[in-house]
Amino acid sequence: MNVIPPRQGLDGGFVDRLRDLLSDRVADSMALREQHSHGEGVADAGLPDLVVFAERNEEVAAVLELCSRFNVPVVPFGAGSSVEGQVAAIRGGISLDLTGMNAILDVSAESLDCRVQAGVTREQLNHELRAQGLFFTVDPGADATIGGMAATRASGTNAVRYGTMRENVLGLTVVTPDGRIIRTGGRARKSSAGLDLTRLYVGSEGTLGIITEIQLRLQGLPEAVVAATCQFDQFEDAVGTVSAALQSGLRVARIELIDEVQMKACIGYSKLTGFAEKPTLFMEFHGSPNGVSEDLSNMEELALSFGAQDFLKAERPEARTRLWTARHNAYHATKWLCPGKNNMGTDACVPISEFAACIMETKEDILKSGMVAPIVGHVGDGNFHLGIMHDPADAEETARADELAARVSERAIRFGGTCSGEHGIGLHKMRFMEAEHGEALDVMRAIKAALDPLGIMNPGKMLPQGKGV
């Protein structure tokens, strides 16, 4: 390995002590540093001085205590699948890789919960749970680590029915910047005992401490699962169907809207035969056989009343897998559609009552911009994504992509929503925090200052600096 000396400023004594703690699990190869310098998407990179692999809570604590002592920035790293620049080490320091903490510590089928280390991935967990008839519901698409999903308050296709990480994390083990190991929440389904630290750390993007263990709520595998699709000539009819379904309280486990541009990409990339390049809904229903069949027929009736063509059911597992694999590969499909271009992803979420107006205005904006920007969305929550295709070597096009993305964020806030439904803030969305939160930002800053007084935890992320700071 090509050994790069620590950058100027990283104290030699710090590095020596770190190696005393973790010996060869302190890496300074450029390959590892580069790999840990960025997430997915077009996030800026920031090269860490060192990559450190921790395997136990006590090691994380010792590392953080050391970083506090030497004032060294720490950026937690999992699967590296975040998309807003969360893992870039923009001020150097160490990238703390938690993928070695990948043990499933405890599963209780009786309490429908489990405890896992932060580096366990979503697919690893679900593979383990399946044999016990259980599953963990939050599915952001990527095979992210549970620690990363907690840190970014991840969500995904199942959230409309089962909630996001906010609802599905019962408790945490967190290492504070000064190296204390604390436990938040617990295994009880509810508690009124003190401040809700669990929800404070969920979504804190590594800015307050390092999440090392997560107590998760689980669900029993549903007795019956049926997927369904329907296509529309008009985008607004697909949107109308979703709005009406939500307002009528129709029970759906997933409801995804895929516009005609994204469908073209999916059909081509995922060989999704039998579909037209039209706005499409992918849905899934969970429950008892009777319940699912009732939900399906209600949904079919509703979709047809909005002009849907052929409401198709996919009951066999392989038919469902084909649909959801195509959905999960939507990102790769856009790159197939526009060879040589990058996909600048952005997501937003608005109140259901504003969803139709907001997404139609967005659609019009895309058309006016002349960009290729497929829309997909977990629309059951009022959440949608744009993948704005652009040539990263073309500064003008990249700037236009960025402006379009910015308008999506600003529009969502204007419609009473949020600039990020599920990707988090990282670096890229800090500029919208003021518009979305106003003076509440000062409260967030006060909490940050109280819990990370040295400012070593993922510095420069999530919270824009205040005036005069």
Contacts (CB under 8 A) with a second copy, residues 247-276: 247-249
442 binds a second copy (CB under 8 A): yes
Nearer to a second copy, 38 or 429 (CB): 429
Can you tell me the distance from the alpha carbon of 101 to that of 212, in angstroms, rounded to the nearest whole number?
Answer: 8
- How many residues bind to a second copy according to rule CB under 8 A? 90
Find the angle CA(241)-CA(419)-CA(210) to the nearest 5 degrees: 120
Window 201 to 220, contacts with a second copy (CB under 8 A): 202-204, 208, 219-220
Q: How far is CA 218 from CA 7, 224, 230, 357, in A?
A: 44, 17, 30, 35
- In whole angstroms, how close is the CB of 290 to a second copy at the nearest point? 6
Q: Provide the minimum distance between the beta carbon of 150 and a second copy in the complex, in angstroms, as a whole number.
A: 11
Nearest distance in Å: CB 137, a second copy: 13
**Rounded CA separation 429/419 (Å):** 7
243 is a contact residue toward a second copy (CB under 8 A): yes
Please identify which residue in 13, 268, 317, 351 interacts with a second copy, judged by CB under 8 A.
351
Is 388 near a second copy (CB under 8 A)? no
Nearer to a second copy, 441 or 454 (CB): 441
Residue nearer to a second copy on the CB measure, 110 or 318: 110
Binding to a second copy (CB under 8 A): which residues in 162-181? 163-164, 166-167, 176, 180-181
Tokens of 58: 């006590």
Q: Does 108 bind a second copy (CB under 8 A)?
A: yes
**Residues in contact with 456: Cβ distance below 8 Å, sequence separation at least 6, in sequence order:** 67, 68, 71, 72, 73, 74, 93, 177
Q: Please choose, from the candidates 254, 257, 238, the residue with its C-alpha nearest in 3D space to the C-alpha of residue 306.
A: 238
Binds a second copy by CB under 8 A, chosen from 45, 276, 447, 454: 447
Choose between 99 and 164: whose C-beta lies nearer to a second copy. Answer: 164
Q: In angstroms, rounded to a whole number, what is the distance separating the alpha carbons of residues 202 and 105?
A: 20
Strands 219-220 and 280-287: unpaired
Closer residue to a second copy, CB minimum distance, 184 or 262: 184
63 CB burial (10 A radius; 0-12, 13-18, 19+): buried
Q: Which of residues 11-50 bind a second copy (CB under 8 A)?
A: none
Distance in Å, CB of 412 to a second copy, minimum: 8
Asked if 105 is part of the footprint of a second copy (rule: CB under 8 A), the reply reads no
User: Is beta strand 50-53 parallel, antiparallel or unpaired with respect to 94-97?
Assistant: parallel
Question: Taking CB under 8 A as the rule, does residue 340 contact a second copy?
Answer: no
Q: Is 319 a residue that touches a second copy (CB under 8 A)?
A: no
400 is a contact residue toward a second copy (CB under 8 A):
no
Q: Which stretch binds a second copy (CB under 8 A): 61-69, 96-104, 317-325, 409-417?
A: 409-417
Residues 115-154 that bind a second copy (CB under 8 A): 152-154
Give me the least distance between CB of 443 and a second copy, in Å please.
Answer: 6
- Told to check if 357 binds a second copy by CB under 8 A, we report no
Judged by CB under 8 A, does residue 361 bind a second copy? Answer: no
466 binds a second copy (CB under 8 A): no
Stretch near a second copy under the rule CB under 8 A, chosen from 90-98, 312-320, 400-408, 442-450: 442-450
